Amino acid sequence: MSYNTSVKKLGEAISSSALAVSCSAKKKQRINWSASTGIRYLKKGTISVYRIDNGVKLFTLSAPYILGLPLMRAPKVTDFYRCDTDCEFSVVSVDEADRIFNESDLWEHAIEVMSFHKGSFFSRSAIMTTNNSDQIVYESLKVIHDMKEIEKNKTSIYSFIMERYPISRGTIYKIVNKLVHAGEIEIERGHLIRMNA
């Protein structure tokens, strides 16, 4: 079983539910969903996730993506979303998601998706706890390296890091330049081309 297979199966089940609600959001639109809103299947578009308390950008997510699984029982909302492009979603309530996952035997796929999400949060948390700029830049480059090719080609390494961490462009440039000269990475116009990860 793979993460992509699980997202596809869950997305199809959510979208085909008689109780699913289709909705769309425009580019730059802020979305404040509570955990009780339910499970959202991002069918089209790209969104970014921000912390409510300080506005720090956590992640950028592209369709297809399942939102809300790790927090389906959480009483408190900690994040908000902003659409980077026009987006389309299918949304079902937590109770409907429970019913779908039980009747269609999809919990194994839900766990696969939640495990992927938790892994992303843990790796982000590990980066945040270091005070070493070299390590933050290197770990961020690994995240970019692991992106889908089309997403990676659109991602500026400088913007990606500066949106998430309090590191200056000059510091990032010095660290990236050091990695380029060491043969660890190859960049072109601020985009990661290759990394020895």
pLDDT tens for residues 86-122? 999 999 998 999 999 999 999 999 988 888 877 666 5
Q: Put the strands of the sheet holding 46-51 in their side by side order.
A: 30-31, 79-83, 46-51, 57-62
pTM of the model: 0.66
**What class does CATH assign to 3-127?**
mainly beta
- Tokens for 13? 């089940």
Residue 62: how many other CB atoms lie within 10 Å: 18
Give me the half-sphere count of Cα atoms (radius 13 Å) on the Cβ side of residue 146: 13
More confident residue, 42 or 115: 42
Q: What are phi and psi of 27, to 5 degrees?
A: -55, 135
Q: Does domain 131-195 have CATH number 2.40.160?
A: no
In the chain, domain spans = 3-127, 131-195
Can you give the pLDDT at residue 102? Answer: 94
